[in-house]
Amino acid sequence: MSEEAKIEAGGSAPEAALESKAGERVRLSDLWGEGPLVLVFLRHLG
Amino acid sequence: MRRSWAGFEERRARVVAVSPAGGEATAAVCGMLGVPFTCLGDPSGKAYDAFGLGRAGLSQMVSLRILWQSVRSLVRGNRPSRPQGDISRLPGAFVIDRGGVVRWARRGHDAADHAGAAELLVALDKLGPPGPG
């Protein structure tokens, strides 16, 4: 837990890359640049 | 979230769901469920880490509240498939504006502690009216 970032409202969002259906990297900054982004992290898939 | 989709569209927000599985598996499950938003994977867990979403302990994964949420989901007709990816990850939700500033953040305290669509829509309303587009 100690190495986890503490991202709070008012701070800059961290840059991170996610994986698309085709296995391509999708940068978060490309997502929020298009408009407000709601990013929902699921606890697991399924 | 699916039932509130129109509200996100009205606010011109992009909704992205992230799972700890790979991108292909994540997209497959989202397609099966017919969700209208973008689904991406984070198999390395680096994005979860970057947003401070850690791993749940046993008490955060097994509780009456979590069991109750699972029962409610089943009653609603959701049929879970075999979990994929790191099943110990805690959920969370964030609203980020066009400048890359986090405007709203919520980290789940346990596996069942999800942000609701209503509170996400309120957070979007606080950003002000959507721009042209």
CA atoms within 13 A on the CB side of B133: 12
Q: For residue B4, what pLDDT is reported?
A: 84
CB B13 within 8 A of CB A35: yes
Residue from B15, B87, B90, B94 to probe the interface with A (highest A Cβ count within 10 Å): B94
pLDDT at B43 > cutoff 80? yes
For A1-46, write each residue's pLDDT tens digit: 334 567 888 999 999 999 999 999 999 999 998 889 999 999 866 5
pLDDT, one tens digit per residue, over B104-129 is: 999 988 777 778 899 999 999 999 87
Across the interface, do B89 and A44 touch by the CB < 8 Å criterion? Answer: yes
How far is residue B62 from each of residues A32, B55, B59, measured CA to CA in Å?
34, 13, 5
Q: Is the pTM of this model over 0.90?
A: no
Q: Which of A10, A26, A35 faces B102 most closely, judged by CB atoms?
A: A10
Q: What percent of chain B has pLDDT over 90?
A: 48
Half-sphere exposure of B117 (CA within 13 A, CB side): 13
* pLDDT for residue B21 is more than 90: yes
pLDDT of residue A36: 94
Of A22, A23, A45, the CB nearest to B20: A45
Identify all chain B residues contacting A13, using CB atoms and an 8 Å cutoff: 94, 96, 100-102
pLDDT tens-digit series, residues B51-64? 999 887 777 667 77
Query: B84: which residues sit within 8 A by CB, 6+ positions away?
Result: A44, A45, A46, B19, B21, B22, B25, B29
Percent of chain B with pLDDT over 70: 83
